[in-house]
C-alpha cells in the first residue's frame, strides 16, 4: 500500500497547568536558563568528569548458567546490571556521551545521593534515576542489532513487570519530507536489511563451474564472478540463482500507544513541522546495507535505496538498531512496549550532513520527548512473570531509585 509519511499534530496548547509547564521549552538549548532547576546540570557530551562511573574493567567474575550467564550477584554477562538497578522504563541511546548528556535531564537526586551509574566491562553504560518522579534508566546501546539484542534481553531479565523501551538514535533521512535535524519516529514500524553473503558465494561457485566446463567467463573479470561490475545486483541476481544481494525483512510494528504519545511529545518540544512519522529501516551495516557506495568492495548496492523506497513509500529513516528492538518487543509475550525515534543526521537523497555542533540540542530535544513519553505510558506491573534466569526468583530487591 502506498502511504505518504504522516505528519504529527501538536497537542492543543494550554490543556492544563502541568501541560503548560511541560510545554515551556520549544528547543532546549545545551545550557538552560538559571531559573530551570536542571540548568546547572546540563553539560556537553564530552568531558563530564563529575559523573561517577563504575568501570568494572577487564576483571570477569565467575558466571553460572551457560544458557543465560549471570554472576553470583545476579549481574548479566554483557550489561553487568542486576535486579533493582534498571527501571522498567528505558531510554536506549547509541553512544555513552548521549547517555551522559540525557542523564542531566533526570530529576536531581536527593541530598547526599547520586544517580546510579554502571559501566560494564563491555562498555554498556546504565544510568538510573527518576524523571518527573518516575524511575527511568538510560542505557548506551552502542551500534548494531547484536548490541540491541543484548540490551533488550539482559534488561528484560533484570526487570519485573511490563517494560517500555524507546530508542533515541541518529539516522539518515531517506526521502522528503524528512530533512536534516527532524525527529523521525518509526510509528509505522521497521524493516530490516541484511547483506546476504550467499549471493556472492553462489556467484563464485557458478563462476567456478563455468570455468571448469571451459565456458567463457560471463563476467569477463578474470575468474571472480563477484567482481563483474554489475550496477545493482539485478543481473547478478539472475546469475546467483535468483538471489538478491540484500534481503529485506517485512515490517515489524511499533507499539501504537508509544507512537501516539511520542509523536505528541516530540511535536510539543520541536514543533509539528519538524516531526515526521513513517517506516524505519535498520541495516546490518553502516555502509553496504545502507546503500553507501564505493569501489573497494563489490557491494552491488547502487540500486538498493531506490528499491526500498519503491517498495515502501512511507520509508523515512535508515539506521541500525530499531528493527531488532521492535522484533524482540513483538516476541516478548506482551512484556515490552517499544518504538524508535531518530534525529536525522544526514539526508541520503541530497548527501547533506548535519553540522555536528547542532546535534546536542537535538539530542536534548529528542531525549526530552522520549523521557516524557516513557513516564506517561501505562505499564502493567504484574504481568508477565519473567523466568529468564535464576535472578527472577522471588526475593526482596533493593531498588537504586528508592
DSSP string, 327-366: HHHHTSTT-EEEEEEEEEEEETTT--B--GGGHHHHHHHH
Does 265 participate in binding ligand R1P (rule CB under 6 A)?
A: no
Tell which residue, 321, 290, 320, 325, has the closest CA to residue 304: 290
Does 287 participate in binding ligand R1P (rule CB under 6 A)?
A: no
Alpha-carbon gap, residue 274 to 180, rounded angstroms: 9
Query: Nearest distance from residue 356's CB to ligand R1P, in Å?
Result: 12
Does 363 participate in binding ligand R1P (rule CB under 6 A)?
A: no
Stretch of 212-220, 297-305, 314-322, 352-360 lying at the interface with ligand R1P (CB under 6 A): 314-322
Does 42 participate in binding ligand R1P (rule CB under 6 A)?
A: no
DSSP string, 143-179: SSHHHHHHHHHHHHHH--S-EEEEEEEEEEE-STT--
- Paired sense of beta strands 125-131 and 134-140, if any: antiparallel
Tell which residue, 128, 188, 179, 195, has the closest CA to residue 155: 128
Report the first-to-last Cα separation within the chain, whole angstroms: 49
Paired residues of 119 in beta bridges: 55, 125
Q: Mark residues 136-175: x for contact with ligand R1P by CB under 6 A, - for none.
A: -------x-------------------------xx-----
Q: How many residues bind ligand R1P (CB under 6 A)?
A: 9
Query: Nearest distance from residue 105's CB to ligand R1P, in Å?
Result: 17
Identity of the residue, 74 or 367, whose beta carbon is nearer to ligand R1P in the bound complex: 367
Indicate which single residue of 83, 265, 314, 319 sits in contact with ligand R1P (rule: CB under 6 A): 319
Stretch of 57-65, 226-234, 313-321, 386-394 lying at the interface with ligand R1P (CB under 6 A): 313-321
The residue at minimum Cβ distance from ligand R1P is 94
Q: Mark residues 55-94: x for contact with ligand R1P by CB under 6 A, - for none.
A: ---------------------------------------x
**DSSP 8-state code for residue 192:** E
Alpha-carbon gap, residue 165 to 335, rounded angstroms: 11
Stretch of 32-40, 173-181, 253-261, 319-327 lying at the interface with ligand R1P (CB under 6 A): 319-327
Identity of the residue, 126 or 232, whose beta carbon is nearer to ligand R1P in the bound complex: 126
Report the SS3 class of residue 273. helix
Indicate which single residue of 320, 338, 370, 371 sits in contact with ligand R1P (rule: CB under 6 A): 320
Q: Are 194 and 247 in contact (CB under 8 A)?
A: yes
Alpha-carbon gap, residue 161 to 259, rounded angstroms: 21
Q: Where on the chain is the footprint of ligand R1P (CB under 6 A)?
A: 94-95, 143, 169-170, 286, 319-321
Amino acid at each position: 500500500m502506498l502511504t505518504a509519511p504522516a505528519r504529527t499534530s501538536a497537542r492543543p496548547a494550554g490543556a492544563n497547568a502541568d501541560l503548560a509547564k511541560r510545554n515551556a521549552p520549544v528547543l532546549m538549548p545545551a545550557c538552560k536558563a538559571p531559573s530551570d532547576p536542571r540548568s546547572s546540570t546540563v553539560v556537553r557530551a564530552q568531558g563530564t568528569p563529575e559523573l561517577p562511573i563504575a568501570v568494572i574493567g577487564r576483571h570477569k567474575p565467575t558466571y553460572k548458567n551457560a544458557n543465560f550467564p549471570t554472576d553470583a550477584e545476579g549481574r548479566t554477562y554483557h550489561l553487568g546490571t542486576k535486579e533493582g538497578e534498571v527501571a522498567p522504563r528505558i531510554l536506549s541511546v547509541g553512544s555513552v556521551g548521549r547517555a551522559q548528556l540525557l542523564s542531566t535531564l533526570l530529576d536531581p537526586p536527593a541530598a547526599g545521593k547520586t544517580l546510579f551509574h554502571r559501566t560494564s566491562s563491555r562498555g554498556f553504560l546504565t544510568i538510573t534515576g527518576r524523571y518527573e518522579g518516575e524511575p527511568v534508566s538510560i542505557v548506551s546501546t552502542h551500534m548494531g542489532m547484536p548490541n540491541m539484542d543484548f540490551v533488550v534481553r539482559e534488561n528484560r531479565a533484570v526487570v519485573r513487570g511490563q517494560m517500555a523501551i524507546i530508542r533515541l538514535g541518529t539516522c539518515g533521512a531517506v526521502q522528503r519530507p524528512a530533512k536534516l535535524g527532524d525527529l523521525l519516529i518509526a510509528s509505522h514500524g521497521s524493516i530490516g536489511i541484511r547483506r546476504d553473503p550467499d549471493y556472492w558465494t553462489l556467484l563464485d561457485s557458478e563462476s567456478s563451474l563455468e570455468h571448469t566446463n571451459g565456458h567463457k567467463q560471463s563476467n569477463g573479470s578474470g575468474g571472480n564472478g563477484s567482481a563483474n561490475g554489475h550496477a545493482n545486483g539485478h543481473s547478478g541476481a539472475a546469475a546467483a540463482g535468483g538471489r538478491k544481494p540484500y534481503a529485506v525483512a517485512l515490517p515489524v510494528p511499533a507499539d501504537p500507544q508509544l507512537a501516539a504519545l511520542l509523536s505528541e511529545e516530540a511535536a510539543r518540544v520541536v514543533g509539528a513541522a519538524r516531526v515526521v512519522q513513517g517506516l524505519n529501516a535498520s541495516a546490518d551495516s553502516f555502509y553496504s546495507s545502507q546503500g553507501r557506495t564505493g569501489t573497494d568492495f563489490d557491494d552491488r548496492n547502487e540500486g538498493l535505496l531506490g528499491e526500498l523506497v519503491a517498495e515502501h513509500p512511507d520509508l523515512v529513516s535508515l539506521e541500525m538498531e530499531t528493527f531488532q528492538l521492535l522484533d524482540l518487543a513483538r516476541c516478548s509475550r506482551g512484556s515490552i512496549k517499544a518504538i524508535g525515534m531518530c534525529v536525522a543526521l544526514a539526508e541520503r537523497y541530497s548527501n547533506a550532513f548535519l553540522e555536528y555542533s547542532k546535534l546536542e540540542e537535538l539530542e536534548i530535544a529528542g531525549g526530552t520527548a522520549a523521557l516524557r513519553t516513557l513516564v506517561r505510558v501505562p505499564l502493567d506491573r504484574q504481568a508477565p512473570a519473567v523466568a529468564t534466569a535464576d535472578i527472577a526468583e522471588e526475593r526482596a530487591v533493593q531498588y537504586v531509585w528508592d
